[in-house]
Amino acid sequence: MTLPPAGTRGYVIPPIARPFYKAAMRASNSIARRLGDRMKAQGRQLILLTTVGAKSGQDRQTGLARFDDPEHPGSWLVVGSNAGSARHPAWAYNLVAHPDRVRVRVGGNELAVHASLLNPAERERAWDMVVSLAPGYARYEQKTDRQIPIFRLTPR
């Protein structure tokens, strides 16, 4: 499994705002752990994704909007938009490095999952679905020139 190349343009968090952004993300993950399915991102229920760092080997956790996978019932799709950045999110590299060392928390339950990157045809169908359900993602594609990856998370 290989990510598509990074882009040459895209959204950049201003350096002065990075510490605040990181603190907000930690707080958001903490709140998501407490609220579970009551917390949403772009109108979608969250999935708390725990990956193993590609470089550090340490557990990393992030809250992401989740989409039910119509082609694989019982699986979920997550989008590596990174707000339209030229770079893929760190968790995407973690999924590629350790696709079988992934856990998700959904509705208060923690499950081991296998992560796979959608092939181009699957990705195109999934992207159309994602944009129809959460139109805000369309802006991210316009901000960057990289292909935004979509991953399938399948319970093991």
Which pLDDT does position 24 carry in this prediction? 72
Q: Is residue 93 part of a domain?
A: yes
Give the model confidence (pLDDT) of 82-115 as tens digits. Answer: 999 999 999 999 999 999 999 999 877 899 999 9
Which residue is listed with tokens 């159309």?
128
**Could you tell me the pTM of the whole model?**
0.89
Q: Is residue 50 part of a domain?
A: yes
Given a cut of 70, the residues of the chain with pLDDT beneath it are: 21, 27, 29-43
Q: Is residue 28 part of a domain?
A: no
Alpha carbon separation from 96 to 3, 19, 22, 23 (Å, rounded): 7, 26, 23, 26
Q: Is residue 21 part of a domain?
A: no
Range of the domain at 149: 37-155
Which pLDDT does position 15 carry in this prediction? 84
Which pLDDT does position 91 carry in this prediction? 96
Which residue is listed with tokens 């989740």?
66
Q: What is the mean pLDDT of the chain?
A: 90
Which pLDDT does position 109 carry in this prediction? 87
β-partners of residue 65 are 46
Which pLDDT does position 12 carry in this prediction? 86
Q: Is residue 20 part of a domain?
A: no
Which pLDDT does position 106 carry in this prediction? 87
Contact 44, 66 (CB under 8 A): yes
Q: Is residue 18 part of a domain?
A: no
Q: Is residue 137 part of a domain?
A: yes
> Domains in the chain: how many in total?
1
CA distance 119 to 1: 10
CATH of the domain at 84: 2.30.110.10
Q: Is residue 5 part of a domain?
A: no
Angle (CA) 100-98-34 rounded to 5° is 75
